[in-house]
């Protein structure tokens, strides 16, 4: 292996490892934000908000490293797609961290409100959103476009949960005393729904990294062409050999 290839491989591995670390940070932020909501724990919510600074810093570090690789290593083909994917994922993950911090800020605002009788679909939405992000990152690690596509199809379910949450909250707004609390819950749900959307963006970019094919979600979820390729397994093996 040439010195150039050795340095590039090391740089790509660091980029991937930092991306995985960023994904773990935002996953923990979602978990803590929802725990703070469930327990009305303002101190925990403030920890999530303060922790968003570290998320931002790591995102910018990944971006800086990716730009350096592009400027000095001149990666091509699958290596170039890996760098561009690292750039894209760092942005999506940082925004997911922002949504977690947004939930935490809502917990702060709810401090003076009466206790909420029900969180409706929010716990289920949170679990689904986290699983989507985790699945997208796992597909990234494995360079598995089929796994990424399977995750994309889950987005429809979290959208349906959010729509049901909105309907239930609006129904309870018939009671004037509940209007503010219901509004906060809808905002929490919106943040979770957006996390699901960003997880879908991650999966789309993983498919591009592994196959070179751009995939855009369609309402009828038509299967992308790479699923029909007989050499898909070989494609994944070639991508893995570049790591």
The model's pLDDT over 202-239, given as tens digits with 9 standing for 90+, comes to 999 999 999 998 877 654 555 555 555 544 434 443 44
- Residue 187 — very low, low, confident or very high, per pLDDT cuts 50/70/90? very high
pTM recorded for the entire structure: 0.87
Q: Which of 93, 72, 68 is nearest to 14 (CA)?
A: 68
Q: Could you tell me the domains of the chain?
A: 3-241 (1.20.58.220)
Rounded Cα distance between 80 and 85, Å, is 9
The pLDDT tens digits for 79-128 are 999 999 999 999 999 999 999 999 999 999 988 776 666 677 899 999 99
The reported pLDDT for the residue numbered 233 is: 38
pLDDT confidence tier of residue 132, bands split at 50, 70 and 90: very high
């Amino acid at each position: 292996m040439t010195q150039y290839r050795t340095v590039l491989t090391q740089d790509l591995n660091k980029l991937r490892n930092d991306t995985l670390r960023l994904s773990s940070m935002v996953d923990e932020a979602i978990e803590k934000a929802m725990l703070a909501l469930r327990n009305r724990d303002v101190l925990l919510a403030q920890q999530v908000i303060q922790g968003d600074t570290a998320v931002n810093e790591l995102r910018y570090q990944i971006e800086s490293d990716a730009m350096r690789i592009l400027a000095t290593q001149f990666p091509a083909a699958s290596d170039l797609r890996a760098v561009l994917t690292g750039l894209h994922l760092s942005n999506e993950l940082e925004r997911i961290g922002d949504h977690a911090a947004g939930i935490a800020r809502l917990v702060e605002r709810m401090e003076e409100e009466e206790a909420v009788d029900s969180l409706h679909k929010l716990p289920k939405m949170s679990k689904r959103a986290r699983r989507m992000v985790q699945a997208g990152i796992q597909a990234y690690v494995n360079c598995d476009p089929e796994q990424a596509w399977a995750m994309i199809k889950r987005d429809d379910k979290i959208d349906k949960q959010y729509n049901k949450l909105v309907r239930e909250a609006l129904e309870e707004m018939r009671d004037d005393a509940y209007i503010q609390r219901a509004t906060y819950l809808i905002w929490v749900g919106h943040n979770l729904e957006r996390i699901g959307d960003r997880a879908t963006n991650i999966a789309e970019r993983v498919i591009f990294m592994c196959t070179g094919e751009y995939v855009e979600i369609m309402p009828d979820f038509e299967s992308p062409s790479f699923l029909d390729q007989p050499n898909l397994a070989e494609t994944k093996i070639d991508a893995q050999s570049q790591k």
